[in-house]
Amino acid sequence: MASIETTSPAAEAAPAERGKLSRFLEVYPPLVLFGGAWIVAMLAVALLADVLAPYTFSALDLKARLAPPVFMGGTWAHPLGTDELGRDVLSRLIVSIRISLLIAFASTIISATLGVLLGFLAAHFRGWVEQVVLTLIDFQASMPFMIIALAVLAFFGNTLTLFICLMGFYGWERAARIARGLTIAANEQGYAAAVRDIGASPLRVYGVHVLPNIASTLIVSVTLTFPEVILLESGLSFLGLGVQPPMTSLGNMVGYGREYLQSAPWILLAPSAVIVLTTFSISMVGDWLRDRLDPTLR
């Protein structure tokens, strides 16, 4: 008598579940998922810094000076150890994440806004206005921004507001070039001209009709600028020209920790790891967005 083979519902569901998982991972690769999770975690830390920090970031405790972290024999009173003045490294790291992300976000928004406005002006007026904008773009692209930043900070001094505005001039030329090119292409397609012919103002034409159509490419450009601003801020703060004491940032922590690299490496270990992981995560998500949103790659 022939035996009848039966398949349990669980066995039938297993290949389907594996198929869903494989399709999910094709759309959202593991590195992108990690990058997205890390970015969300950093944003949460920045928003909840006052709640999460166990101590005031500038509080001194000379009795606990250069205390090691937990993983090097320290205590849970200071999980990541303390610095040369007895300040809690974890508390300073949390506040540094907030300050560095604030600088990066504000600077990137300024850069994108400036670039888009100049790109729109060049595409709208053409002629000598376009030539002036293109000349500014070429100048900005040819001049190392670090030199400009060093000169401005040395001449005008440094405040957080000035530093953010200065960082806002980084990368605007890319947004301007993209906005100009895509706006000219949009004008040639006719829909912008059609809206203009029915009496719409230039502000409405570019703000309501042109900008949404080029936003995906601009978002990709912003994701490239953001990690570069973080690295630039870290470099300037490392040199002592960025965020000034008593305020702290990731680059500021690395700069002060380098003097204790041999005796207390934990001072710069945590902020260095955060800088690397944050820039890596944003780059991974930015590359994924470029592949998903850039029409030239479809």
| Alpha helices in 59-126, H assignment, sequence order | 89-125
Provide the phi-psi class of 221: left if phi over 0, else alpha when psi is between -120 and 50, else beta. alpha
pLDDT > 70? residue 295: no
66 alpha carbon, distance to own chain's centre: 31
Report the Cα–Cα distance between both ends of the chain, in Å, rounded: 58
pLDDT reported for residue 277: 93
Tens digit of pLDDT for each residue in 227-262? 888 888 888 888 878 888 888 888 888 888 888 888
Cut 0.85: pTM above it: no
Mean of pLDDT over the chain: 84
Integer Cα distance of 241 and 284 in angstroms: 29
Domains of the chain (ranges, CATH numbers): 61-293 (1.10.3720.10)
DSSP code of 70? G
pLDDT reported for residue 15: 65
- Which token pair is 151? 């000169």
Tens digit of pLDDT for each residue in 130-154? 899 999 999 888 888 888 888 888 8
β-bridge mates for residue 88, sequence order: 82
Segment 43-69 mean pLDDT? 90
What is the DSSP annotation of 173-208? HHHHHHHHHHHHHHHHHSHHHHHHHTT--HHHIIII
Integer Cα distance of 184 and 179 in angstroms: 8
